[in-house]
Structure 1
Amino acid sequence: MKKSLLFPLLALLVSLTGLACQTVSSATTPYGGVIRIGHNAPFTGAIPLVALSGREAIDLWLEEHNNQIELDGKVYRFEIIERDNQTSPEVAARITEELITEHDILAMIGPYASAQAIPAGEVANRLKTPMISPWSTNPNTTRNRPYVFRIPFLDDFQAEVIAYFLAEEQRVQNVAILYSEQSDYSRDIARFFRENAQASGMNIVFDESFDANDLVNISSHLERLAQTNAEVLFLPQYYNEVPIIVNQLAQIGWTGRVIGSDSWASTELLTACGINCEGFYFSTHWTPSNTSEPAQRFIKLYQARYNRLPDDLAALTWDAMEILALGLQNCGSLSGNLEQDRECLQQGLAAIDAFEGATGKMRFNEEGDPIKCVLLVRIESQQAQFYKQVCPR
């Protein structure tokens, strides 16, 4: 009888000892071994596909890395806290503060569009919490904000590339500009393009802004455009807006060409535009024809997981997660003091000198902006085909 009780007691003792060791181990790992990351994205509103592509890339990255990272001999898992900014600047700023002050995030991915990223970046920088925007190209997102970083190239450079391409390669003499005054992205890239077009010797024969909330009544602008001798229209609008405008241009019989910016990059645009966008060019960050090892690895993983090719938003968000992990590794270890660890991560991100990800090679300047190449693609048979790559001098 005594012997029969001995083994269960020993087994219980061993079990309790193991549990105690696990408890001590968990207790000695800051934050209980969980790193909280915010995801500030437009799941509703005008551009929900942006948020969905970002979510897919984050989920894929976590899956590929077993949702863990090792720092100073301690293993952490990630907890992603998603919030919908509704494509609203005010909501994006509000949920940034909520994620930082109420959910104790270490860092934040997003927002994506510049209209939301600029005000959210002000909050993140003020509260000294690292923020990485996968898609915002407006210089104001990161300007004088050491806690704000980005993955894409900037609007001033892509506008220069587009203007130079039209003037030098396409030999365009007369150009038109149509943009949304309410959009930080559209308004500012239009300004950069205007400056570069004039410097390249092109004549700006039409330059108007419109109300993006009233696309149905844009016809008066387009009729005035049709009365000019413009050869090409620069249209820096989002993928959901471009087909509406281009299709109306086709209806009034305008035979000129249209060129766009990185906001065009979406299969939705290619499908909705159809033949009316055939032969048009736009600038972008990504093409599946990229043959680099990081790009091809990402494409294979994405196709295996989602059974389709990734878009530029997915590739940019994948790189944002890669940069976040590299910043954490540069930080080295976490203390459990959130303010100190946010500062450590900021310094780790700022220390990244060069990186090659799915969207190409890049190096970072003192503003947290990557210096990287712009891709030009041409729409053929409702697909964006690689045309050329233009890199900073």
Structure 2
Amino acid sequence: MNKKIVSALLAAAMTFGLAGCGATGTSGSTGSEGSTMESADTTGAIKIGGIGPLTGSAAVYGTAVKNAEELAVKEINESMGKTVFELEFEDDEGDPEKSVNAYNQLKDWGMQMLVGPVTTNPSVAVGAEAANDNLFMLTPSASAEAVIETGDNVFQICFTDPNQGVASADYIAENNLATKIGVIYDSSDTYSSGIYDKFSAEAEVKGLTIVAAEAFNSDNKSDLSTQLIKCQDAGAELVFLPIYYTEASQILTAANKIGYEPKFFGCDGMDGILNVSGFDTSLAEGLMLLTSFAADAQDDQTQKFVAAYQAAYGDTPNQFAADAYDCIYALLPFAVSGDITADMSASEMCDVLKVKMTETTFDGLTGSGMTWDASGAVSKSPKAVVIKNGAYAAL
């Protein structure tokens, strides 16, 4: 089918779905958490599996991804007048072993492609399984290069860790935010250490001085005040935090206790800090981060998505939700054109998508003109946002 026709159908589906959305969920989906969806005839539907943490410390991410995938599938099915996609989502608690178990459960269900997992280590583990099975995998948010290195069937819609590290150093330098930089990162986490490595190299190129680079790991992250004090003692004017929001909330709390007031700058793992239970969100005022999505953006596409998500789930979508939403819509043209159909095996579908994804240009919530190379990495640019008056605002 002509690409322009496919693009037009895709745009129509998105517009129709966003305008008419209001109910929660996706027809036909159950998942491990149960379903609030109405039943539907799923004969001939392409079965999409989803995996992510619905419980545990990263549940903010997984819940956002699940909600957005449900929303996108519901919109598409309604706009097309039939069940094009059927979604089943499993909780992995952010644990690699549980994620593999979830993957096997979805295979038993009949999964033909996977949109997930959400976090890096589970995605590496599941990616290896999907490569063995030749099953197409598109992760919304696992940004480490190690994820797409598991096989030529694994793709990312989030920008990669190196991209985030380089872009963060560039943004700090180009906007003269600071010259003396402290870094606190998780050396046991592929996501965090990968960003730090690239940030460190680019910082040197850009004339930034890293005066303190303090690591922690999964076994000693209950108290990060020591790392923070070392940044303070070294005179860091800005502290770069390529870490997840839970640990970041600890650092901001500790900084307040010792009266340390540097600028704080993070990446997409910071998204969710305003939802940490028991955290004084006023401490996050002025925190900057790079992300692919800002909910307060004024373009029609973003505003329609935010309104639909809020109506369905009573919450403002974060970047993880936007990436997951884009994942589902990025797959729609292949179903509309007939390149993939429900009667194909998962392996047959994968063989088609491995080629088609590298020939695709996609405009979504998280980027315009997105393209993929054969490695599975996406090309798009991050956006800078700041927390202002308790909400994310575009810089």
| Residue 269 of structure 1: how far off its partner (Å) | 5.1
Q: How does 1:331-342 map to 2 (within 5 A)?
A: 331-334=338-341, 336-342=343-349
Q: Which moved further from structure 2: 222-231 or 125-134?
A: 222-231
Give distance in 2, aligned partners of 1:284 and 1:270. 22
> Is residue 180–residue 186 contact of structure 1 (8 Å, CA) maintained in 2?
yes
Residues 1:230 and 2:241 aligned together: no
Q: SS of 2:210's equivalent?
A: strand
| Residue 208 of structure 1: how far off its partner (Å) | 1.8
Give distance in 2, aligned partners of 1:340 and 1:187. 33
Equivalent residue for 1:38? 49
Q: How does 1:17-166 map to 2 (within 5 A)?
A: 32-66=43-77, 76-100=83-107, 102-143=108-149, 145-166=151-172
Q: How does 1:185-196 map to 2 (within 5 A)?
A: 185-196=191-202
Equivalent residue for 1:17? none
| Residue 157 of structure 1: how far off its partner (Å) | 1.6
Distance of aligned partners of 1:339 and 1:36 in 2 relative to their CA distance in 1, 3 Å threshold: closer
Q: How does 1:284-363 map to 2 (within 5 A)?
A: 284-334=291-341, 336-347=343-354, 349-361=356-368, 362-363=370-371
User: Given the alignment, which residue of 195, 213, 216 partners 1:210?
Assistant: 216
Equivalent residue for 1:370? 378
Query: Residue by residue, what CA displacement relative to the aligned partner does 1:301-335 show, whole Å, maximum 9, x if unpaired?
Result: 22332344322121111111101222333553537
The amino acid across from 1:92 in the alignment is: S
> Is residue 184–residue 239 contact of structure 2 (8 Å, CA) maintained in 1?
yes
Distance of aligned partners of 1:306 and 1:357 in 2 relative to their CA distance in 1, 3 Å threshold: same
User: Given the alignment, which residue of 167, 175, 179 partners 1:173?
Assistant: 179
> Is residue 121–residue 141 contact of structure 1 (8 Å, CA) maintained in 2?
yes
| Residue 271 of structure 1: how far off its partner (Å) | 8.3
User: Given the alignment, which residue of 255, 259, 263 partners 1:257?
Assistant: 263
User: Given the alignment, which residue of 283, 287, 292 partners 2:290?
Assistant: 283
Query: Residue by residue, what CA displacement relative to the aligned partner does 1:137-186 show, whole Å, maximum 9, x if unpaired?
Result: 11221136221112111121221121112223225221111111221111
When Rg is computed on C-alpha atoms for both structures, the one with the higher figure is: 1
Give distance in 2, aligned partners of 1:363 and 1:231. 37
Equivalent residue for 2:16? none
| Residue 264 of structure 1: how far off its partner (Å) | 0.9
> Is residue 50–residue 88 contact of structure 2 (8 Å, CA) maintained in 1?
yes
> Is residue 118–residue 142 contact of structure 2 (8 Å, CA) maintained in 1?
yes
Equivalent residue for 2:394? 386
Distance of aligned partners of 1:325 and 1:343 in 2 relative to their CA distance in 1, 3 Å threshold: same
The amino acid across from 2:65 in the alignment is: G
> Is residue 327–residue 352 contact of structure 1 (8 Å, CA) maintained in 2?
no
Distance of aligned partners of 1:95 and 1:204 in 2 relative to their CA distance in 1, 3 Å threshold: same
Give distance in 1, aligned partners of 2:122 and 2:223. 26
Distance of aligned partners of 1:273 and 1:260 in 2 relative to their CA distance in 1, 3 Å threshold: farther
Give distance in 1, aligned partners of 2:68 and 2:133. 27
Q: SS of 2:221's equivalent?
A: helix
Q: How does 1:234-245 map to 2 (within 5 A)?
A: 234-245=240-251
RMSD: 2.4
The amino acid across from 2:190 in the alignment is: D
Query: Residue by residue, what CA displacement relative to the aligned partner does 1:105-156 show, whole Å, maximum 9, x if unpaired?
Result: 1001111111221221121122100111111111221136221112111121
Q: Which moved further from structure 2: 129-138 or 349-358?
A: 349-358
> Is residue 149–residue 368 contact of structure 1 (8 Å, CA) maintained in 2?
yes
> Is residue 223–residue 250 contact of structure 2 (8 Å, CA) maintained in 1?
no
Q: What TM-score do you get using the length of structure 2 for normalisation?
A: 0.82
Give distance in 2, aligned partners of 1:263 and 1:340. 32
Equivalent residue for 1:221? 227
Q: Which moved further from structure 2: 205-214 or 44-53?
A: 205-214
Distance of aligned partners of 1:56 and 1:374 in 2 relative to their CA distance in 1, 3 Å threshold: same
Distance of aligned partners of 1:310 and 1:339 in 2 relative to their CA distance in 1, 3 Å threshold: closer
Equivalent residue for 1:12? none
Give distance in 2, aligned partners of 1:118 and 1:349. 23
The amino acid across from 1:286 in the alignment is: F
The amino acid across from 2:47 in the alignment is: R
Give distance in 1, aligned partners of 2:344 and 2:288. 49
Distance of aligned partners of 1:315 and 1:337 in 2 relative to their CA distance in 1, 3 Å threshold: closer
Name the structure, 1 or 2, with higher relative contact order (CA <8 Å, separation 6+).
2
Q: What TM-score do you get using the length of structure 1 for normalisation?
A: 0.82
How many pairs were matched up? 352
Q: Which runs of 5+ in 2 are unaligned?
A: 1-41
| Residue 43 of structure 1: how far off its partner (Å) | 1.3
> Is residue 264–residue 288 contact of structure 2 (8 Å, CA) maintained in 1?
yes
Q: SS of 1:149's equivalent?
A: strand
